Structure 1
C-alpha cells in the first residue's frame, strides 16, 4: 500500500495495518502485546555533481555526475522541464532510467532535441533527477546474489522518494562577455514598500544574498535577462543595496553595492 504525501512515497507493512484494523474493531489479536513496531526509513535521493549546468547549444550535449551515497541501490530517473517546472522541455537525459548501486557514481548526459530558443539571451530550464523506491517484486532491488533487499526485523518500512532539480541554463554563442561582467549593471529602485531590480543583461542573475542597509531581504530569487523583479522591503530599510550572485561554478560572488534611488 502506498500513501502519497508531498510527492513522497510511503510503504506500510501489511501486518501492522492488519493489527490496527483488528484493534479498531474491538478484537485484540493474540500477538498484539508481543508485536514491536520498528521503523526503518530509507531516503531514495542522489547527490548531483553541480548546482547548475551551463548548456552550449552548439555543443553535442552536457554531462553531470551523480552519486548514490546510500547503503542500498536506487533507481534513478532524469528529465528536463521548462522554466515553469511543469512543461517538458526539448531535451533527453541518458540513460533515462537506470539502477545506481550503493556508494557508486555515474554520469548523466543532457542532449537538446529541438525547440525554439532565444539567440540573444539565456533560456532557463530545470534538470530534475528522482530516486525511485523499489517494489517487492522488482529484480533491480535484489543484491548481487539475487536475494531481495528486505529488512528482516522491520514491521514498518518508510520509503521517501526525493526529487532534486537544478538550473539548466542554455547560453547561446550570441551572448557576449561573462555573467560576472554584468552583475554590477543591475539597477535598483525603491517603489513604495518594494525594491525593484532591473537586469539589462543577457544573463540570469541568481541572487545569493540581498540587503538594504543592515536589513536582509530573505525572499530573493533569480532575475531573468532583460526583465525586472520586485521584493518586499522590510520596514525602516534604508541605505546602500548590497548583493551577491551565484557564479557559473555554483559559488558565491564578491559583494556588489549600489545607491538606492
Structure 2
C-alpha cells in the first residue's frame, strides 16, 4: 500500500485540498549533477533535511522520461535506499551502483536522479483548509566511459554556433557539439549591433546539436553576431566564454547598409 501511494505522489507531486499556503523544500542535494565514472563500484549522493520536521523521501533514476512511473523505469543502475525517512537536520547518502550493460564507450550517457520528498501531515490538518505539496527535484547523472578523461568544458573552442530556422520557420541558434561530452548551457545571449537577445538554456548531446530559442520575442540578426554563454562544469559552476555566430545558407545574415 505504501509503495502504491508513493507512485501516485511521484506522478502527481501535489496533493490539494484548498486555500492559502506557504511551502519550501526540506531536502537539499549536494551538487547539481552526478558524474558516474565507468569502473566505479558505486557513486554516493548526499541528501540533507534542512527542515525542523522529518521527511519521507522516494528516490529513483530515469532515462529521460520525467513522466514515467518509478516502478516502470528500466535503467542499468541500482539506487539504495529507494524509500526512506530523514530526520530533522540529518542527512542520508544515496548509493548508485552500475548493474552492467552495453554502454557506449566513445561518449557519455545521461540519466536523471529524482528525489521526491513527502512532508508529514500536520496534526491539525483535518481542522483547517490547506494544500500539502510533495516536492520533486530532478538532476542530471552522466555515465562517463573510462576513455574520457578531459574536463567536458575544455573543448569549448570546438563548439560551432550558427543561425538556423526551426520547423515553424523561426530563427534559432544551433549549437553543434563535436565532443563526446554532454554540453550544458547555463546561459546564452546573442549580441548583433545594438540588439541583445537571451536564449533559453539547454543541453547539446555528444556528436549532436541543440537549437537554442529566444527567451522572448524573435531572433532577428542583421549584422555579424557574437554569443556570450556559460557552460556548466562537473560541479555545476558556470564557465564563461563567447564565440562568433555563423550564418547558414537557408538563413542568410544580412549586413546593415
Query: Aligning the two structures, in what range does the TM-score lie when normalised by the shorter sequence?
Result: 0.7 to 0.9
The alpha-carbon distance between structure 1 residues 105 and 176, as it changes in their structure 2 partners (threshold 3 A), is closer
The alpha-carbon distance between structure 1 residues 53 and 160, as it changes in their structure 2 partners (threshold 3 A), is same
Cα distance in 2 for residues equivalent to 1:4 and 1:52: 24
1:98 to 2:76 alignment: no
Classify the secondary structure of the residue corresponding to 1:254.
Answer: strand
Instruction: Tell me the residue number matched to 1:60.
Output: 41
The Cα shift of 1:12 comes to: 4.2
Moved more, 250-259 or 239-248: 250-259
Cα distance in 2 for residues equivalent to 1:176 and 1:4: 39
1:235 to 2:235 alignment: no
Instruction: Tell me the residue number matched to 2:242.
Output: 256
8 Å CA contact 2:161, 2:243 repeated in 1: no
Cα distance in 1 for residues equivalent to 2:59 and 2:10: 21
Instruction: Tell me the residue number matched to 1:186.
Output: 159
Instruction: Tell me the residue number matched to 1:130.
Output: 116
Out of 207, 210, 215, the position equivalent to 2:188 is: 210
8 Å CA contact 2:54, 2:119 repeated in 1: no
Cα distance in 2 for residues equivalent to 1:203 and 1:68: 32
Instruction: Tell me the residue number matched to 1:245.
Output: 231
Q: How does 1:1-261 map to 2 (within 5 A)?
A: 7-10=12-15, 12=17, 45-85=26-66, 86=68, 87-134=73-120, 150-151=123-124, 154-192=127-165, 193-213=171-191, 214-232=195-213, 234-237=218-221, 238=223, 239-261=225-247
Moved more, 116-125 or 239-248: 239-248
Q: What do the CA deviations read for 1:21-75 (whole angstroms, capped 9, x no partner)?
A: xxxxxxxxxxxxxxxxx96656564111110001012001111111112221111
8 Å CA contact 2:172, 2:219 repeated in 1: no
Classify the secondary structure of the residue corresponding to 2:246.
Answer: coil
Instruction: Tell me the residue number matched to 1:32.
Output: none
For structure 2, the residue ranges without an aligned partner over 5 or more in a row are: 166-170, 248-257
Aligned residues, how many? 223
User: Larger radius of gyration, structure 1 or 2?
Assistant: 1
8 Å CA contact 1:242, 1:258 repeated in 2: no
Moved more, 102-111 or 150-159: 150-159
Query: TM-score of the superposition, structure 1-length normalised?
Result: 0.75
Query: TM-score of the superposition, structure 2-length normalised?
Result: 0.76
For structure 1, the residue ranges without an aligned partner over 5 or more in a row are: 14-37, 136-148
Cα distance in 1 for residues equivalent to 2:26 and 2:62: 19
